[in-house]
Amino acid sequence: MFQLGPGEILVILLIIILLFGANKIPELARALGKARKEFKKALEEEEKVEEKKSEKK
């Protein structure tokens, strides 16, 4: 697998700024954070459901 160094990360961030503009980046970060939170919540709920199923057996 590949690893990203500081130079590569900087280039990626500059490309993102050029594509979306500096004003849009906080909105994108907020949306990513919400999506991550929802995904984590769904995983936790799925684990609880599976635990209940295994306890009933």
- Would residue 52 count as lying in a domain? yes
Q: What is the CA radius of gyration of the chain?
A: 19
Query: Which stretches in the chain have pLDDT values below 50?
Result: none
User: For residues 54 and 56, what is the distance between their CA atoms, to the nearest angstrom?
Assistant: 5
Give the pLDDT score at 6: 92
6 near 14, Cβ under 8 Å? Answer: no
pTM exceeds cut of 0.75: no
- 41 is in which domain, residue-wise? 24-57
Residue 42 located in a structural domain? yes
Nearest to 13 by CA among 34, 29, 33: 29
Alpha-helix runs per DSSP H in 1-57 = 6-20, 25-56
The total of structural domains in the chain comes to 1
